[in-house]
Amino acid sequence: MSSPASDADALARFFAAGAREDDADHARLWAALQDASEGGKRVRPLLFTSAHTAMGGVHMQAAAEVAGALELLHTALVVHDDIIDGDDLRRGRPNVAGTFMAMAVREGAGLDRARRYGTAAGILAGDLALVGAVRMVAMCGAPPLLVRRLLDLLDDALHVTAAAELADVRLSLIGGALDGEAVRVSAGKTAAYSFRLPLQMAAVLAGADDHDTERLGRFGWLLGTAFQLRDDIQGVFGRSERTGKSSLSDLREGKETALIAHARTTDRWDRIAPYVGRPDVDETDLDAVRELLHESGTREFVETMAIGMAQRAADEIVGMPVESTLRVWLAAVTRDLRSAA
């Protein structure tokens, strides 16, 4: 699973080709977008590339383009997600919206106007990234029939992601989750485009048949769901310096994670509920919530669910040439779970 330079090359070419130095507004927007596309762990290109290689894929140039497109798609969704969530920071630094907000403030705009400027920049930058991602796949150079299937997969993943994001906002703002819905929604937000899509695209580009492509799709969904459950757990129990985000933010936002959804069904909920969605929750409160999530069996329940997903995922790929490669990904998810337990 060494990191190939090629998806980074494809992205570098994309940003070089799209630059328009003669337009100051475009130059600022483009620079902020390129900045947003960098510094991540490149999980999606890595997953795609490792699977494509393990399956004996030969369209190497097209693979680099698709890998770059996956990272760009992720950038687009993150930039728009931050607008939806009202976040100005990402990994502790101003995101696209935050960068433009700060620019407006420096030029003397009030906070409300600055925020509107930031929102505009975030929406527009995400739009350019989204269109860029689809175009990179459309022009990746693979045989036309494969390109068509890749575009279908990309489109499908986007539909699932958009619906899950909307459901996520609905649940956190309006409430009323049905049993199991929070887990499905939370997984749908990332499993579809971050795990299932890279694996299905790798299968298609490597010439796998429909049966194997579907198996990898199911594997990706299960892996992605396990990953999301682990993320939910670490969002409360992880240490900030390790996860890179505050362990308080999920609680403060009142995020309808798998933990919260399960906790609702336990007899500790009356004591947990007052902390959820309160913007002034502090470290002492967090410790109390952690203890309650232990007592109620919620933490164990969600961890067991994640490990179960990972086991079902492992069953999907038995005997496939890609099995050993993907087992490394599974191990990365479950190892973290057990160390947290």
Binding site for a second copy (CB under 8 A): 18, 20, 23, 25-26, 28-29, 76, 80, 83-84, 86, 104, 107-109, 113-114, 116-117, 119-121, 123-128, 130-132, 134-135, 138-139, 144, 147-148, 151, 154-155, 158-159, 162-167, 169-170, 173-174, 176
Q: Which of residues 169 and 340 has its CB atom nearest to a second copy in the complex?
A: 169
Return the number of the residue (173 or 318) whose C-beta is nearest a second copy.
Answer: 173
CB 109, min distance to a second copy, A: 5
Torsion of the alpha carbons at 235, 238, 242 and 247, rounded to the nearest 10: 50
Min. distance of Cβ 31 from a second copy in angstroms?
A: 12
Query: Which residues on adjacent β-strands are paired with residue 89?
Result: 94
The beta-strand segments (E) located in 23-182 are 89-90, 93-94
Minimum distance between the CB of residue 243 and a second copy, rounded to whole angstroms?
24
The closest alpha carbon to 260, from 230, 293, 285, 284, belongs to: 293
> Distances in Å between the alpha carbon of 171 and those of 175, 232, 249, 316?
4, 16, 17, 31
In the complex, what is the shortest distance from the CB of residue 198 to a second copy, in angstroms, rounded to a whole number?
17
Q: How far is the CB of 98 from a second copy (least distance, A)?
A: 15
Q: How far is the CB of 273 from a second copy (least distance, A)?
A: 18
End-to-end CA distance of the chain: 27
User: Alpha-carbon Rg of the chain, whole angstroms?
Assistant: 21
Which residues share a beta bridge with 90? Answer: 93
Closest contact distance (angstroms) between CB of 254 and a second copy is 11
The strand pairing partners of 93, in sequence order, are: 90
Angle between helices 60-85 and 111-138 (to 10 degrees): 160
Instruction: Please say which residue, 55 or 97, places its beta carbon nearer to a second copy.
Output: 97
Going by the DSSP 8-state scheme, the letter that residue 94 receives in this structure is E
Q: Residue 230 contacts by C-beta under 8 Å, 6 or more apart in sequence?
A: 306, 333, 336, 337, 340
Cβ pair 221, 197 in contact under 8 A: no
Measured from the CB atom, the residue of 82 and 336 that comes closer to a second copy is 82
